C-alpha cells in the first residue's frame, strides 16, 4: 500500500475525504503503465462487485461506466478502499454521520458503493457489517417511498451473507458485547418488525421472515449480555404496544409476544402498562389472552 493509503487507513477523516473523491468521480492519474493488465483486473472487479450486490440489472456495471477516471485510477480507488476496510473495518462506523448528513451519499445510485463497502467491512468483522446494515441500510429500505427491487435485493443480500457465515450468531453477539454496542436497537427492531409483517406482502417479505427470529434473538442476547435489557425492554414495550390490535393480525401477534417478553424481563414495564391499560382496553385484552402462553413465548428467546 502506498503512503497515501497508509495515511487514509490511520485517519478516518482522511478516509472520508478519499471516499468523497471516489463517489464524486473526480481526479486523474498520469501514470498509465501496464494498463492492459489493469484493464483485466478492472473487469474482474466489475464481475466481483456485481456478484456481491446480487442485483439483476448490474447497477455496479453502470457505476463503473459512469466513472470518468482512467482505468488505473478506478482500480486503485476500489482496491485501496477494500484494503483499508479489511484492516480497519471500524472506520466505516465512524463515517455513518457523514453518510447520513451529506447529500452526496444519498440516492439509489450511490447504494451499490455503500453496500460494497459494508460487505468489505463485514468480511473483516461481522459485527461491523451487521451494525452498518441495521443503522444505515435497513432504514433506507424502510423509509424509501418506492424502493426498487434491486435496492431491496442488495440490502437483504448483505444481511443474508452476514448471517450465513460460520457461527455467525455467536460471533455477532460476542463482538457486540466486546464493543459495547447494540447491534439492533429497539427502534431498528420495530422497523424490522413492520417490514417483516406488513399489511400487504411486498418484495423481500419472505426473505425477512426467514431471518427475523435470528435477528430478534441476536438483539435480545446482546442486551442481556451487556446488561441493557431493562431500558431496552421499556423502549420495545412502547413500540410493541402501538402495533397491537391495529388490524394487522401477524404484526399484532408478534408485537404482543414482544410486549409480554418486556413484562417478564422488566417489572417497570408492568407499572407502565398499569398507567395506560384503562385507555387501551382492547389492546390490553389481546395481551391478557396471550399471557397464558408466557412460558412458551419466553422459550423463543
Domain spans, the chain: 1-159, 166-301
* CB hemisphere CA count around 251 (13 angstroms): 24
Query: Average pLDDT for residues 158-171, to the nearest whole number?
Result: 95
* CB hemisphere CA count around 201 (13 angstroms): 7
pLDDT (0 to 100) of residue 280: 78
Query: pLDDT above 70 covers what percent of the chain?
Result: 70
When pLDDT is cut at 50, 70 and 90, the band that residue 70 belongs to is low
Angstrom CA distances, 50 to 53, 59, 160, 223, 283, stand at: 5, 7, 16, 36, 47
Examine the pLDDT at 26 and tell me if it is beyond 50: no
SS3 32: coil
pLDDT (0 to 100) of residue 220: 93
Average pLDDT over the chain reads: 77
pLDDT (0 to 100) of residue 54: 47
Query: pLDDT above 90 covers what percent of the chain?
Result: 36
Query: Average pLDDT for residues 210-217, to the nearest whole number?
Result: 95
Q: Which burial class, exposed, middle or buried, applies to 299 when counting CB atoms under 10 A from its CB (0-12, 13-18, 19+)?
A: exposed
Examine the pLDDT at 201 and tell me if it is beyond 90: no
pLDDT (0 to 100) of residue 279: 80
Amino acid at each position: 500500500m502506498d503512503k497515501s493509503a497508509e495515511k487514509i487507513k490511520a485517519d478516518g477523516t482522511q478516509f472520508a475525504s478519499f471516499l468523497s473523491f471516489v463517489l464524486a468521480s473526480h481526479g486523474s492519474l498520469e501514470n498509465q503503465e501496464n494498463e492492459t493488465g489493469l484493464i483485466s483486473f478492472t473487469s474482474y472487479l466489475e464481475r466481483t462487485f456485481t456478484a456481491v450486490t446480487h442485483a439483476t440489472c448490474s447497477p455496479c456495471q453502470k457505476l463503473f461506466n459512469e466513472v470518468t477516471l482512467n482505468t488505473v485510477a478506478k482500480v486503485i480507488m476500489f482496491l485501496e478502499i477494500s484494503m483499508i476496510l479489511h484492516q480497519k473495518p471500524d472506520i466505516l462506523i465512524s463515517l455513518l454521520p457523514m453518510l447520513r448528513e451529506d447529500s452526496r451519499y444519498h440516492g439509489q445510485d450511490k447504494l451499490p458503493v455503500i453496500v460494497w463497502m459494508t460487505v468489505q467491512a463485514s468480511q473483516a468483522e461481522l459485527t461491523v457489517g451487521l451494525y452498518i446494515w441495521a443503522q444505515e441500510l435497513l432504514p433506507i429500505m424502510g423509509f424509501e417511498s418506492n424502493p426498487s427491487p434491486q435496492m431491496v435485493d442488495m440490502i437483504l443480500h448483505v444481511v443474508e451473507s452476514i448471517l450465513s457465515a460460520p457461527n455467525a450468531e455467536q460471533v455477532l453477539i460476542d463482538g457486540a458485547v466486546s464493543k459495547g454496542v447494540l447491534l439492533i436497537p429497539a427502534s431498528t427492531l420495530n422497523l424490522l418488525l413492520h417490514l417483516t409483517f406488513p399489511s400487504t406482502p411486498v418484495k423481500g417479505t419472505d426473505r425477512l421472515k426467514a431471518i427475523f427470529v435470528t435477528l430478534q434473538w441476536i438483539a435480545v442476547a446482546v442486551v442481556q449480555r451487556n446488561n441493557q435489557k431493562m431500558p431496552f425492554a421499556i423502549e420495545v414495550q412502547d413500540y410493541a404496544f402501538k402495533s397491537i390490535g391495529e388490524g394487522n393480525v401477524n404484526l399484532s401477534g408478534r408485537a404482543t409476544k414482544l410486549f409480554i417478553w418486556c413484562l417478564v424481563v422488566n417489572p417497570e414495564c408492568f407499572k407502565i402498562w398499569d398507567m395506560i391499560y384503562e385507555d387501551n382496553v382492547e389492546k390490553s385484552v389481546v395481551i391478557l389472552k396471550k399471557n397464558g402462553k408466557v412460558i412458551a413465548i419466553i422459550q423463543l428467546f
